[in-house]
Structures are given as C-alpha cells and as structure tokens.
Amino acid sequence: MEQIIIYGLTFLFCGLTIYFYLRKVNQKSAVVEAKVAVAKEEGRFVPLSLHPHIDLNTCIGSGACVAACPEKDILGIVNGQATVINATSCVGHGACFHACPVEAISLRIGTESRGVELPHVNQNYETNVKGIYIAGELGGMGLIKNSVEQGKQAVQNIVKSGRVSDNNDYDLVIIGAGPAGISASLAAHENGLKFATLEQDSLGGTVFTFPRAKVVMTSPMDLPLHGKVKLQDTSKQELLELWNSVLSKNNIEIQEHKKVERIVSHNANQFEVQTALGESYLTTNVLVAIGRRGSPRKLNIPGEESTKVAYRLLDSEKIEEKKIIVVGGGDSAVESAMLLMDKNEVTLSYRKDQFARIKPKNKEKIQEAIDTKKISVIFNSNLKEIKDQKVILMDGSKQELNIENDLVYIFAGGELPTKFLQNAGIEIKKRFGYVMKSHKKSE
C-alpha cells in the first residue's frame, strides 16, 4: 500500500512538472507569436536584405540562436522551434548561425518573392571581370567584422593569384575607405603591394556618417597589422581613432575626397581608375569596397541644392538653437533627430503613417520623445520645397505646411551603384533567397 502511494505521488509530481513546463512553454510561445503578429502588421517580419533562415525540419528549439543574437527580438521560440520575428532589424553578424548546434540556420539575402540585386562574386571575392574584386557591404555582408575579414581575404587572394605588374603604377587600387577598404589597405601594406586607397568622403566611409555615439561593433574582429580587436559596444569615434592609429603607425595614407567615377579596362592586366577630379590610376587589380548605398538618394525638389541641406549628421553636439527638419523614417533619421532634439527645435517628416522598420529600442525612444514633446513628427508628409527661411511640406490631406527652418537633414537611403559596376563589366544579378557562403563554422 505504501509503495502504491509513493508511485502515485511520483506520477503526480511528474505530471504536475510536465503540466507546468508545457504551460510555461505555451505562455512563452504566445508572447513570441504576439510579437510576430505585430512585426507582420508593421512590415518588419519580411526581411529587406541579409537575414537568418530556419530549417524547421532540423531545428530542435535549443534557443541557442536567440541567446547568441545581440539584437533584441530578431529571433524567438514558438512551439519548440525557432522563428524569425523582426527580420528587418537583422544586421547579419551570424552569431545565430554559429551558435546553432544542429546547423538549422543559414544566412540568406532576398526572399522567394523579394529579390536583392548583388554583383557576381566568387569565393575569392573576384567578380566576373578578372582582376576586379568586391568586399564588404556591396557584396551583401554589411557587418563591420565581416567587412574587415573580407577586405583582408580579398587581398590575400590577389597575392596568391600572382597578378602583379611593373607596367602599372599600382598592383592594387582600393576604392572605398570603410571597414573593408581599411582592412584591405593594411593587408596590402603587410604583403608589400604597391597600392592606393581612394575614398569619396572621409576615412571610415559609411561608418563616418553614423551619429557620433552610435554603437557600430558588437563582436571582436581581426585587423591586419594590429591583431585581435576585443572591443564590445564600440562607438564610432573609438573605432575611427583605432583605424587612424593603425594606419598612422604603418605610414598608410588614405586619399580622401576622391570620388571614383569609372573603371576602364585597357587589357587583361591593366585597369584605369578615373576620379571626378580628372585623375587616373593605372593598376593591375581593383578592389571595390564601397557601400551598397553608393551616393545619398536625393528628393529632387526645389531648393535641395541649398547649403543648409545635408545627408548625414556630424558633430551634433555643436548644433544649437536651430529649427531643424529631419526627413526620413529609418533608424538613421530617428537617431539623428533624437541627437538634435535637446538643444534644437526638431521636426521629423515621414512619408508613411507610422515607423515600420526601425529597431525596437529606437521605436520606444522616439515615442517617448513624441509624448514629451521633444520632437514634432508629421506622418504622411513629403518635403515639397526648401527656401532660405522656411520649408514647405505637403501633408496627408494635400495641405501645404509652411515651417520656419534653419537646417534640413535628408535620410532617404542611397542609390545603388549599379551603373558604376555595370560600366566596369561587372554582372549584377537579382538574388532570391540566396544562401550566403561567407560565414564559416570554424570562426
């Protein structure tokens, strides 16, 4: 009798344990499902570019991918399996891919219905044009760590190819001084190549255009001629100082404010890189390390050529007591508006009826700024004209709004450098659900 009671209590205990465990799992699943529903409603569920793809036939629901992701609410667990929540916020660092114990995650660009244009690049980062290479964001991998690694590997592949020539001024011309371009410059110096690095703006490329306090690196990277960089939550300024220090120690000069307009092939071993200033560089190899956005997208409205219009925010702390219009609804626009709001009168103009594709933290902060009236937001509006003392907006009801104004910041994305690449003979293809092969488990 006593044994029966013990068995009964044991079964009851096990049953209650299973019940409460399943109830907890179901509750967590419900929370994630609710987040997915909101993401779908706000347009953040369908990925825009690089994103994790989960093979549900392989996934065991360990949750390792969720724990490894440094971003919030990109991944979650529903009914014992992983799911994507806010795909548009994925930055493609690949932590989820490396953490998955059964390799159920692959990193892909584009979906079955929405393609993304990418240049043709092989495993050595060489395009269909022999001697022209592409590394970094333009090839689909936008994270700083990935770009640094690709820039280094591309140069190593150039060295292995043996493509050097005394008939040219350079063995290699690097176009772009962002993460990939800086890494490539260091690797080229390390390998004794004759090279030049040309940047249309300033050192750091697109990183230089980030707001000063923006966190730009979330995991360690291996920088040529320096070694392992173990910096977490690194600011833009700290990263630029590091790059400047390494370049200076190795006497490497980045030629800034030299926009490359054309790459001309003269023969199998000679390219001419032409700049907007009329300069030309004869080289055996070219590494294109520019961003996917190329040049800032303009609104093409009257007054946009005014000197009070800018497409990036620098030294926000020096701007005070100005009436400012910020145009855009992405993370760059929202973050810039919030950096300016404490010392200025800021109005944010966005063409849609809500912020749909910004990071959750930014969404919370901008809503708080709106509620406390630190920022004025005009949804369903378009900038129509820019004048000396004011701007004219068209709101959702087609009414013109005249707003006093000192400065205008436009964050409307950028133009893909498709024509520039095609003029050089590089093939551009639209990829649908393309599996990126640049991540390796051995990392």
**pLDDT tens for each residue of 348-378:** 999 998 887 787 788 889 999 999 999 999 9
Q: Where are the domains of the chain?
A: 2-116, 121-294+416-426, 309-413
Which pLDDT score, from 0 to 100, does residue 439 have? 46
Q: List the CATH code of the domain at 2-116.
A: 3.30.70.20
Classify 309-413 by CATH class: alpha beta
The pLDDT of residue 425:
94
From the list 372, 424, 416, 340, the residue with the least C-alpha distance to 133 is 424
**106 contacts 52 by C-beta, under 8 angstroms:** yes
Ranges of residues in the chain with a pLDDT under 70 are: 1-2, 7-9, 12, 16, 19-22, 25, 48, 91-93, 140-143, 205-219, 231-235, 293-294, 437-443
The partner residues of 392 in beta bridges, in order of sequence, read: 385, 402
pLDDT at 131: 95
> Same topology for domains 121-294+416-426 and 309-413, yes or no?
yes
What are the counts of helices (DSSP H) followed by strands (DSSP E) for the chain?
9, 28
Question: Within its chain, how far is the Cα of 236 from the centroid?
Answer: 14
Burial 63-82 (b: 16+ CB within 10 A, else e): ebbbebbebebbbbbbeebb
Pair 271, 170: CB distance under 8 Å: no
Q: What is the pLDDT of residues 120-159, one digit of tens each?
A: 888 899 999 999 999 987 776 666 777 888 999 999 999 9
**For residue 36, what pLDDT is reported?**
87
- Count CB-CB contacts under 10 A for residue 371: 9
Burial class (CB in 10 A: 0-12, 13-18, 19+), 123: exposed
Q: What is the fold, at CATH topology level, of the domain defined by 121-294+416-426?
A: FAD/NAD(P)-binding domain (3.50.50)
